[in-house]
Chains A and B, each alone.
Chain A
Amino acid sequence: MSFFENSYFLSRRELLAQTSYGVGMIGLASVLAGRSEASTPLAARPPHFPARAKRIIHLWMNGGPSQVDTFDPKPALHRFAGQRPASTTGLTTERRTGGLMPSPFRFTRHGQSGLEISELFPFVAQHADDLCVIRSMHTNTPVHEASNWLMFTGNVQPIRPSYGSWLLYGLGTENENLPGFIVMGEGQPVNGPSNWSSRFLPGIYQGCQVTLPVDYRPQDVLANLHNASLSPAAQRRQLDFTQRLNDLHRDRVGAENAFGARMDSLELAYRMQTSAAEAFDIRGEPASILDLYGLTGPNAGASANTNGGFRRATFARNCLLARRLAERGVRVIQIYCGNLQPWDTHSNNAQGQQTLAQVVDQPIAGLLTDLKRRGLLEDTLVVWGGEFGRTPATEGSNGRDHNHWGFSMWLAGGGVKSGLAYGATDEFGFRAVEKRVHVHDLHATMLHLMGIDHERLTFRYSGRDHRLTDVHGTVIRDLIA
């Protein structure tokens, strides 16, 4: 059978000796009978080497934020406004672009590090000394679909497992009462679930999408979390009856690991009903926390309506939920902004980026503050960015096109250096030229921070060992504190 024969840590026999879930056919190594805890393929497993981060929160600005308007100041754009210097020719993007267009937003230095951040992110800027901005990101194509797949799965086609699935496969999760890989947002981003698919890894490592309306009921956050026909007490009595039948069945036909695993799993499911609902229940959060995330206050009603909209009310709530889930041991949490690709400002770039930043700025800063206060930032890697950036040149009169040649992302917490701007684009912010970081390198580095050697996290499939970074990827050690 094909399941954990691929395990990179343990031989299949070792694994089976330690666990008791069904592997392909049941009872392949039915040496042990009976029920045991910590016995599922989701159970936490040790990393290759001590991890700096135990979990990842990825704030995904779907559509592609503009680096020259946010985290990569380019004063030269003012001098060359409207022109197209020779060094910027030949950089084909999705659409035709014109002359260079300076950013209307003012950049100032922040914190002790003096990191330059534009006025679009006043709240995040207060965390300048926590950020590790990578200004030299680059990716393969100026196409949303391909670039999203590359960012989340390491391949430009939807044929590989997402990095979240890889991490769950490699590390398991620290709380089996919750899904280990949760994706939140409003609406459906471009590519939909193929961004968090497990592909050839077992289906249980797939990301679990949770899109909640503003007035959701915690008991409805996961499918079948709540039994509408039975009180908890009656349900417990009924489960006891089921388990007695299971015991009798086992006594009669003989013990199999798989029988015990399923019985354990029924008990876990029973507990999950309360624990998952509790994790998603923010009604007990104090007013100060709601304020911190911008769920209350002056911009609480903010929303953006570019290319599929989203609201502060959902984005900020998802940030708060991310903290709650991180606290409870969820391994990978991804938050996209809204339907399709809100950051895709092909026209009215300045206005669009401003509105979008206004929706996300305070919630993101709130999340960083909250994580830090609780000591969670130390071992939580926060990743911010889109699938690519935007051109410093105009599209039409006032838009910016997709730009895969160079863009910015930032990391925070989880063992990365702070107050750092790493790498550089050319003088106009078009192309990454110094200390270039490809998406594969980012993946290698993220895995490294999680205690995983990206070259050793493999899965035997279709005749060869696959890995997230395929044959690419270099850990960028200069980013690691």
Chain B
Amino acid sequence: MIRYSLFLLGTWWFFAPATCCAQQKASPEQFTFFEKNIRPVLVEHCYRCHSSGAAKGGKVKGGLQLDTREGIRTGGDSGPAVVPGNPAKSRLLAALRHETVMMPPSGKLPDSVVADFAAWIERGAPDPRDGKPLTQTEKIDWQKARDFWAFQPPKVHAPPQVRNAMWPRKDIDRFILAELEKRGLEPVRAATNREWIRRATFDLIGLPPTPEEIEAFEKDKTPEAHAKVIDRLLASPHYGERWGRYWLDLARYTDDLGGTVGPVLAPTAFRYRDWVIQAFNRDMPYDQFVRLQLAGDLIPEPAKEYAERLGGLGFQGLGQRFSGNAVGMVKKKVADELDDRVDTVTRALLGLTVSCARCHDHKFDPIPTVDYYSLATAYNGAKLSEEIALGSPTANKARDDWQKQVAALSQKIKSAAKTATTPDAKAALESLQTELARLNQSVPPAVVKGPAVSGGGQAMRVNVRGNPDQLGDVAPAGFLQILKSKGALAELKFTRLELADAIVDRHNPLTARVYVNRVWHYHFGRGIVGTTSNFGQLGDRPTHPELLDTLAVRFMDNGWSTKWLHREIMLSAVYGLSSVPDAKNLAKDADNHYLWRMTPRRLDFEAWRDSMLVVAGKLDPRIGGPPYLDPKGKVQLHPENPENRRRTIYGFISRFKPNPTLTLFDFPEPNVTSDQRTATTIPQQQLFALNSPFVLAMSRSFAARLEASEKSEERRLLLGWQLAFGRVPTEREVAIAREFLREAASVDEKLRPWERLCHSLLTTNEFAFVP
């Protein structure tokens, strides 16, 4: 990745020194006392952490610099270190006495030394040292900051001229080709139809195409053949499972919220997961998708579709929850939970690392500390890990009333039954029972609950250096200054809805860019901006800035439609390139940043496992539901369980005890928002492929499917290759497969020859990679 010299960064800072304080007069004798008894102690025991030298090295502790008169009197985060003439108010003395903090850290100084300091302060702390502490007030030059590419509003650019005018299919291609031509790179051949449909199917639904789908596509000679495949896949209910999972990575989705001696379950978390899947399947406009997740409860829209309005609130409702009743931890718990929300919102939706500004002004981006707290206001005071009813208030009330009535009646019946001795009493009892029977005939639907946040928007004070015990000024409520449109007034209040609206505002230069770039990343393996959740100074610069901008604007113009974006991208020539390597291109652009080919990608764990289920003919295609194998919710769905035939997305995701198989295969850490999957290769992953009961069970089912479908060895091999790889086997492959089967038949193993062959197919590279 391109690294920008740190010297170029922060050019828009300027440093304004702190103001000076008045000089005091002191006698030379008093200075002698300082030189003899005070200065040497400060130098030896304090300066390493509390001096301008330490500040220069970024190592000053507590903002306290003791090497100047001004520094020692101004003090650090907690206030003046020395108040001349007032030992009781001098924090330095309290620290030396170990009354508050204990300084120096290496151990208490001798009592005589501490007494010297007390005497010196008592006498007015005469101090000959001049100079100023290095506490620059950093100010941001907003004008300059806005010049940075990511803060410039995106606009539509005319596609550039290209030499090879025959190659482009869409405008996208002209942007790509212009860069390739500029760099002397040449696009490789187009993917074959079989390669293309396999890639497209994995990309959109995370499963391989069936042999029938491949055949139909190959036979379709109409110009719309590709578009038809894309539309079919976008209409598949499996589409939301694939793209929803990407979103769940960003949303740090889990089914428990961590815990210490056991998991704290989030039993309705799956409602949010399913909401995300449905939102993708319905192609919910992205701006609406964001608004509902941040503030569905605050949107003053018609009271219909409550579940749709409220189901997205789990985005933040499933954020981190810390244990916090511990001594000295309560405020920190609240602050850390708030930070999780700020971090997730800003990285996932804006591509900015606002959380860096929690303790100090952002070192690279124009985000002062106060902006962190301004934005955090939206969540301040909120209930961050709630469970709310997702139905309409009327429906909720109907159920509630019904439950109360049933309870009251049952109570009456119980007491009436005890005294029902007279005929009158018996009749009364009967009528009560009839009443109950009537109630039980029209049961209102149960209240469906889901994870959520509620409330928030309380004014917030800056936590000095991120310390919730040390409060500064109230932060003006509102959005990040750098993203506010010009002339915007300071908000009087700042709710989650206002935050959401500020994020999806058309004039916000980041939101559409960041999202379009994410979709691009999942299609090509790398975003136009490589650092998909960091569009700041330390992030990558776009390889094709004009393409990114054009796509971002057109995406908004097309109703923020994700499905529109897929079509736009996937019908391009660049998406249709093969993944063959090319020595000349590799020498110039080994990482394929300029897209002279499709980068070959390994399937993520979900797609790999789900593909095995498909090939084995065992996939349970049901969409949604609780993460349990059994209706009673006793057995969690885990990917390594051969009984679990559901898609991997439906597995139980734990923060308390991460599933070891998922962890092994680079599943993202679910405590924080994740924008990209790493793809590591280590032997324990291969142990899963070689030996796990799941893969062995899939191999057996795959073999049984071949044996049941075809009689001849040749036909079985053909079907096996078509199912696993979407192609016919080569002669050479047929030959070695037959040889393997013959040899396997000569030994007695628990796995039969066809099962062993199928096991091999499932563990090959070809099965694990997208062409």
Contact = CB atoms under 8 A, between A and B. Distances in A.
B353 A463 contact: yes
Interface string A5-48: 10000011000000001111111111100000000111000000
B661 to A, nearest CB: 8
A233 B749 CA distance: 10
Interface string B83-107: 0000000000000001000100111
Contact of A5 (B1, B102, B261, B525): B1
Contacts of B364: 463
A245 B766 contact: yes
14 contacts: A5-B1, A12-B1, A27-B599, A31-B587, A42-B682, A176-B683, A190-B261, A222-B684, A223-B660, A234-B744, A273-B687, A436-B102, A436-B105, A463-B362
Interface in B717-741: 730, 732-733, 736-737, 740
A157 B468 CA distance: 15
**Interface of B: prevailing SS:** loop
B764 A245 contact: yes
Given A190-B260, A231-B749, A28 B733 contact: no
A262 B592 CA distance: 21
Given A26-B679, A249-B764, A433-B102, 7 more contacts: A22-B602, A25-B525, A192-B260, A203-B680, A256-B581, A258-B679, A435-B106
Contacts of B271: none
Given A30-B590, A234-B747, A248-B732, A199 B326 contact: no
Contacts of A233: 747
Given A198-B669, A248-B733, A262-B765, A156 B327 contact: no
Contacts of B526: 1, 24-25
A286 interface: no
Contacts of B678: 1-3, 23-24, 202-203
Contacts of B108: 433-434
Contact of A224 (B365, B590, B690): B690
A225 B288 CA distance: 48
B736 A141 contact: no
Given A156-B329, A234-B756, A464 B681 contact: no
Contacts of B660: 223
B736 A462 contact: no
A202 B680 CA distance: 8
B343 interface: yes
Given A1-B678, A142-B327, A245 B733 contact: yes
A302 interface: no
A232 B322 CA distance: 48
B675 to A, nearest CB: 8
Contacts of B640: 223
Nearest to B262: A192
B579 interface: yes
A144 B740 CA distance: 57
Given A41-B682, A272-B687, A1 B356 contact: no
Interface residues of A, number: 104
A265 B353 contact: no
Contact of B765 (A30, A223, A231, A259): A259
A28 B107 contact: no
B591 A253 contact: no
B687 A145 contact: no
B11 interface: no
B749 A234 contact: yes
A197 interface: yes
B46 to A, nearest CB: 14
A226 B765 CA distance: 22
A159 B672 contact: yes
Contacts of A265: 681-683, 685-686
Chain B CB within 10 Å, residue with most, of A11, A192, A464? A192
Nearest to A161: B669
A403 to B, nearest CB: 12
Nearest to B694: A224
Contact of B530 (A1, A176, A249, A435): A1
A20 B178 CA distance: 31
Nearest to B343: A462
Chain A CB within 10 Å, residue with most, of B332, B530, B660, B684? B684
Contacts, number: 304
Given A202-B666, A436-B102, A262 B586 contact: no
Nearest to A245: B764
Nearest to B3: A11
Chain A CB within 10 Å, residue with most, of B356, B534, B599? B599
A229 interface: yes
Nearest to B766: A249
B106 A204 contact: no
B750 A238 contact: no
Nearest to B538: A463
B672 A462 contact: yes
Contacts of B665: 203
Contacts of A268: 683, 686
Contacts of B139: none
A64 B600 CA distance: 51
A145 B684 contact: no
Contacts of A259: 765, 769
B326 A146 contact: yes
Interface in B650-688: 655-658, 660-661, 663-667, 669, 671-672, 675-688
A434 B102 CA distance: 10
Contact of B687 (A223, A239, A250, A435): A223
Given A177-B683, A263-B765, A143 B329 contact: yes
Contacts of A244: 736
Interface in B36-80: none
A63 interface: no
Contacts of A192: 260, 656-657
B133 interface: no
A141 B682 contact: no
A140 interface: yes
Interface string A191-228: 11110011110111010000000000000001111111
Contacts of B470: none
A356 to B, nearest CB: 20
Contact of A141 (B326, B538, B587): B326
Interface in A453-467: 460, 462-464
Contacts of A340: 261
B323 interface: yes
B518 interface: no
B278 to A, nearest CB: 29
B110 interface: no
Contacts of A159: 320, 336, 671-672
Contact of B686 (A5, A241, A269): A269
A204 B691 contact: no
A202 B666 CA distance: 7
A225 B687 contact: yes
A25 B599 contact: yes
B514 to A, nearest CB: 14
A191 to B, nearest CB: 6
Interface string A118-157: 0000000000000000000000111111100000000011
Contacts of B530: 1
A224 B656 CA distance: 23
Chain A CB within 10 Å, residue with most, of B106, B328, B687, B760? B687
A70 B684 CA distance: 41
B683 A269 contact: yes
A232 to B, nearest CB: 11
B669 A199 contact: yes
Nearest to B676: A2
B496 interface: no
A146 B326 CA distance: 8
Given A245-B766, A269-B687, A462-B355, A141 B602 contact: no
Interface string B327-347: 111001000100000010001
A203 B661 CA distance: 10
Contacts of B332: 156-157
